[in-house]
Amino acid sequence: MSETEKPKKLLILVVDRDNDIRRKAGIPTPIIGFEENMKAAEALMLSDPEEADANAMFGALKLYRELAEKYGDENIEVATLAGEESEGLEADMKIIRELRSVLKKFPAEGCVFVSDGVTDQFILPLVTSELPVISVKRFVVKHSESVEQTWLILGRYVRLLFTEPRYSKIFLGIPGLLLAIIGILYVINVASVPLILSAIGLFLFLRGFNVDQKVANALKGVVDLFHMPAYKQLRAFAVFVTFILIVTGFYVGYLTSLNAVYTRYPNPPDIVTHTWWWLDKAAFIVGVFISGSVDLISVAILVMVLSNAVYYIFARNPRFWGMVRAGVLTLWLWALLKRTGVILITGSSGTIEDPQVFLLVMVSILGIVTLTVTLLVTRMLSKMYSKYFKKKH
């Protein structure tokens, strides 16, 4: 960093996101100044010699000395901030409050962020939202690469599971409760081992994929539905009705096509060994399926379209005119698919003289004309009622 590039005032910053310095050493934050940070780092190191935050604080003090000798101690300051034990939103808000408090006492123009390399991705965005970070220094405790030292480090982390309350609750408390319940159920012959294992597997699956949270949110949405305005309730109810009708439509189409095949061909061959036979009858099967399912599916779409139209009227949303066009389009597609299904079932010759083909062509032409007229009429009406339908930005 050259003389021209360095800021006038530079802050060396250490952030203890889980507030170990308060929990272990009983020292409140923010801690400002070399002497105060030295006392706090020593107290934290004495309370826990393996604490990584203490190493970061000593690293910041070393960096302070180096920069103070080069640029003058009036332009350099060192500070330590802390969050909360939960390490969540409250911790981040506390860090921002403490950083603003430090900047009021020492209005730095740049920051050197000192960390142990673990929480950089959480802390750096908070710091950069208040002042520029011109450098990041990581102080990581060095360990031997020997097998003996590796096991020693592993043992230290295992001890954390027994000594740190926030870890022991998860890794010891919950499994201990499950094992106790399993043991009691097994002793009193209420549950067998396979049943217990299945229950544990189901619990882990539901918790791992947050199924319980999703179910809770869904139930909350159902409860909130009763507090919505009537037109919003209508729209939500229409979604449920649409889903039921579409599923039922596909099921009816499947049953209709299955019954039609066995009625026309009482002993159909196996589909695996006689694939070409089934492919030859594919047009007939598809036609029956369309004829059997298109009515319910079309009604389902119309229910959704009409409910949205009512919603947009009360919401004064110009999308109402799109729903009008969607309703006309749905009716046209219903008639078109209905004619198509009949042609596939009867095996039409494909010429215009065929009554079914002629009807299909007429439906297509009339549908295009109707859609064009609908588009023109809705455009005129949307201009006439533009004061009522105001688009929300």
- Residue 179: the pLDDT is 73
Residue 85 burial (10 A CB sphere; 0-12, 13-18, 19+)? middle
Are the C-beta atoms of 84 and 19 separated by less than 8 Å? yes
Q: Grade residue 4 by pLDDT with cuts at 50, 70 and 90.
A: very low
pTM to 2 decimals? Answer: 0.46
Nearest in space to 113 (alpha carbons), one of 153, 78, 156: 78
Percentage of residues of the chain with pLDDT beyond 70: 81
* Interior angle at CA 37, CA 24 and CA 50, nearest 5: 40
150 pLDDT more than 70: no
pLDDT digit string (tens) for 159-191? 666 666 666 666 666 777 777 777 777 777 766
- Token pair, residue 380, equals 């005129």
